[in-house]
Structure 1
Amino acid sequence: MIFRQLFDNTSSTYTYLLADENHRQAMLIDPVFGQVRRDLALIRELGLTLALVADTHAHADHITAAWLLKQKTGCRIASAKVINADHTDVALENGDEFGVKGVRLKAISTPGHTDGCMSFILEGESMVFTGDTLLIRGCGRSDFQQGSAHRLYHSITGKLFALPDSCLVYPAHDYQGRTVSTIGEEKAFNARVGAGASETDFVEYMNAMKLPHPKLIDEAVPANLRSGRPENGKLPEEPGWGDIRITYAGVPEIDEEWLEQHLGEVTVLDVRLDDEVKDNPQSRRLVDVHIPLNQLRDRLEEIPRDKPVVAMCRSGRRSSLAVSILKDAGFEKVASLSRGFVTSIP
């Protein structure tokens, strides 16, 4: 199985990518609206097709990317039936099995943080995706969205703690940089519900926390009841000057076909060494400015600012750094030529 754990710094949210190596269908658990480019770049680079997105609950701290991913890929959306979110294709109930080809999950209802919380157990019980129900050495709060400390206690101790001790726990959030735990660890060491804590211990702990209201709840919850669809129903604006793709490394790229068709609309910056340019005179027909990468920071004034800039090199590696340098210098419309001269332009 292909498995990746992705992180959103703003909301401390984990998104999980699962796919079967043979069938190449992928699913995302708890995708974040602002990370769609990153997630799609990884899926593209791994040669996968996104078939399904699933939310563990209606989040209060970020907006899901489910609707946006559906618009961009045609994938299906799964979430708990009790949430009754718009645009959902798979309404999950307790015990339902779902997933993509080669990857099967079982949804179990684990309310208490919210009434619509579900945990997803991988076939074979080697992994469980617990959303906000069970966190690493903690758990989700229970003081809003029909939350209940009593229900949360029974969800954790009666359902999640019934899984094998070796089962890996992957939560929706962590605020301390922790990435994974196990059921056995949480049963022994969880600060709120571990080491044999009674229901009274847990409920009194949760009721005494008095946490501040989530900052984004008034925006996030209504949006997530629409599966992340913006209120105006419009897709986010994309860069208007070119057919840009953002790589998983975060580099904006343009392919050679687009560049050949729009040469007069951009400034082409060649960042190869002088000797490399001499060895490949055919490429010079495309170039407007030639500045070796190691001189770029000192010669930025030679690059016009009236057009977008496409940086080029032999393989696309040096031009990706050139893009970063240009952005730091205030160039907003910049991209690297995907794969460079090696596989694209002779």
Structure 2
Amino acid sequence: MIFRQLYDSTSSTYTYLLGDEHSREALLIDPVFEQVQRDLALLDELGLHLKLVVDTHAHADHITAAWLLKQKTGCAIASAKVINAAHVDLALEHGQRFGVAGIELEARATPGHTDGCMSYVLADQSMVFTGDALLIRGCGRSDFQQGNAHTLYRSITEQLFSLPDSCSVYPAHDYHGRTQSTIGEERQFNARVGGDANETDFVGYMQAMRLPHPKLIDAAVPANLRSGCPEDGRLPDEPRWADLRITYAGVPEVEPEWLIHNQPSVTVLDVRHDDEIVDGERPAGLDLALHIPLDQLHQRVAEVPRDKPVVTLCRSGRRSALAVSILKEQGFERVASLRGGLLRLKG
């Protein structure tokens, strides 16, 4: 199985990518609206086809990317039936098995943080994705959105602590940089529910907590009850000056074919060294407007016109990617690198 743990620093949210090496089908757990380009780029680079997006609950601290990913890829959306969110294709109930070709998960109802919380257990019980029910050395709060400390205690101890000690725990959030734990660790060391803590201990702890109201709850929860669909039902605006592909490294790129057909409308910037260009050669099909070696770009950035978008190029596309970063730092918004560089253009 292909597995990746992705992170959104704004909300401290983990998104999980699970892909099957043979079918190339994949699912995402708890995707974040603002991270769609990142997630799609990773799927593309790994050669995976997104078939399913799953949320562990109706989040209060970020908006899910489920609806947006469905528009982009045609994937299905799954979440707990009790949430009754719009645009859901698969309404999950306790004990239900689901997934994509080659990957099966079991849905376990783990309410208490919210009444719609679910945890997802890999078929061989080697991994569990616990949402906000069980965190690393902690758990989700239970003081809003149908939360109940008694219910959460039972969810953790009966549904999660019944898994094997070796089962890896992957939560929806961590605010201290911790990435993974195990059921055995949490049963022994969890600060709220581990060790010899009983229900009275746990509930007393939870009821004594004084936490600030989540900043985004008023916007996030209604949006998540629509599976992340904006109120107006419209896709977010995207750059229209080019057919852009954003890499997992965050670099905007255009294909050679696009550049050949659109070069009059852009400035083509060659960032190769002087000794790489023989007798003023020009790549086939391109009329280069500007040549500034990458190591001189910082000093000569004022020579780059700002009236048109800029497409940077080099031999392989690696140095031109850095040129994009330099230009963006200098306030250029419409800028992209030639994918694969001149090697791909010649090919």
TM-score range for the pair, normalised by the shorter chain length: over 0.9
For 1:312, the aligned partner's letter is L
For 2:198, the aligned partner's letter is S
Shift of 1:280: 8.1
Runs of 4+ displaced beyond 6 Å: none
1:286 counterpart SS class? coil
> Which residue does 2:177 correspond to in 1?
177
- Summarize the Cα distance change of 1:279–1:33 in structure 2 as closer, same or farther, 3 Å threshold: farther
Distance 1:40 1:279 in 2: 41
Is the contact between residue 256 and residue 345 of structure 1 (CA under 8 Å) also seen in structure 2? no
> Which residue does 2:267 correspond to in 1?
267
Shift of 1:150: 0.1
Distance 1:21 1:72 in 2: 22
Deviations 1:298-344 (A, max 9, x none): 11111111001000000000000000000111111110000001122
1:165-314 aligned within 5 A: 165-278=165-278, 281-283=281-283, 285-314=286-315
Deviations 1:247-280 (A, max 9, x none): 0000011111111111110000000011212178
Shift of 1:196: 1.8
1:1-346 aligned within 5 A: 1-278=1-278, 281-283=281-283, 285-345=286-346
For 1:2, the aligned partner's letter is I
Taking structure 2 as the reference length, the TM-score comes to 0.98
For 2:11, the aligned partner's letter is S
1:299 counterpart SS class? helix
Aligned sequence identity (%) = 71
Shift of 1:43: 0.1
Distance 1:216 1:342 in 2: 47
2:161 counterpart SS class? helix
Is the contact between residue 256 and residue 344 of structure 2 (CA under 8 Å) also seen in structure 1? no
Shift of 1:120: 0.1
Is the contact between residue 188 and residue 195 of structure 2 (CA under 8 Å) also seen in structure 1? yes
Distance 1:169 1:311 in 2: 44
1:300 counterpart SS class? helix
Is the contact between residue 2 and residue 20 of structure 1 (CA under 8 Å) also seen in structure 2? yes
Distance 1:279 1:342 in 2: 19
Shift of 1:345: 3.7
In structure 1, stretches of 5+ residues that fail to align are none
Distance 1:288 1:179 in 2: 48
Please provide the CA RMSD for this pair: 1.0
For 1:27, the aligned partner's letter is L
Is the contact between residue 6 and residue 16 of structure 1 (CA under 8 Å) also seen in structure 2? yes
For 1:318, the aligned partner's letter is R
Is the contact between residue 30 and residue 172 of structure 1 (CA under 8 Å) also seen in structure 2? yes
1:28 counterpart SS class? strand
Distance 1:210 1:294 in 2: 54
2:218 counterpart SS class? helix
Distance 1:345 1:216 in 2: 49
Distance 1:46 1:119 in 2: 26
Distance 2:113 2:219 in 1: 18
For 1:283, the aligned partner's letter is P
Shift of 1:282: 3.7
For 2:20, the aligned partner's letter is D
Distance 1:150 1:279 in 2: 78
Is the contact between residue 187 and residue 196 of structure 1 (CA under 8 Å) also seen in structure 2? no
Is the contact between residue 313 and residue 319 of structure 1 (CA under 8 Å) also seen in structure 2? yes
Shift of 1:158: 1.0
Shift of 1:243: 0.7
Is the contact between residue 130 and residue 171 of structure 1 (CA under 8 Å) also seen in structure 2? yes
Is the contact between residue 134 and residue 156 of structure 1 (CA under 8 Å) also seen in structure 2? yes
Shift of 1:46: 0.3
For 1:288, the aligned partner's letter is A
2:143 counterpart SS class? coil
